[in-house]
């Protein structure tokens, strides 16, 4: 077995192990978290405000229709002061 094959197999095994711990938790969650990053100041704040509002409106509409696979979206906003 070459070193490259061994490294690929080790990386694949680590990925499978990490995913097997995370996927059941994600499927069991009642909500799907959606992050919205936007600026409050700077030149980007003008255009990002409407994008933040659009994302919020889309999340509200999807939740009003029952969500996705019976799971509601949870909006999480982070404000950048840069």
Q: What is the reported pLDDT for 80?
A: 59
**What pTM did the predictor assign?**
0.57
Domain locations in the chain as residue ranges: 3-80
Q: Is 75 exposed, middle or buried (CB count within 10 Å of its CB: 0-12, 13-18, 19+)? A: middle
Reported as type and span, the H/E element at residue 76 is strand 72-80
**Which of 11-20, 48-57, 73-82 is least confident?**
73-82
Q: What fold characterizes domain 3-80?
A: Rossmann fold (3.40.50)
pLDDT surpasses 90 at 25: no
Q: What is the reported pLDDT for 22?
A: 65
Q: What is the reported pLDDT for 49?
A: 80
pLDDT surpasses 90 at 65: yes
């Amino acid at each position: 077995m070459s070193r490259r094959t061994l490294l690929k197999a080790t990386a694949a095994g680590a990925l499978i192990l990490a995913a097997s711990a995370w996927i059941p938790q994600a499927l069991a969650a009642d909500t799907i978290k959606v992050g919205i990053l936007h600026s409050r100041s700077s030149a980007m704040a003008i255009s990002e405000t409407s994008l933040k509002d659009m994302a919020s409106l889309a999340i509200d509409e999807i939740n009003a229709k029952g969500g996705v696979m019976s799971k509601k979206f949870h909006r999480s906003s982070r404000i950048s002061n840069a």
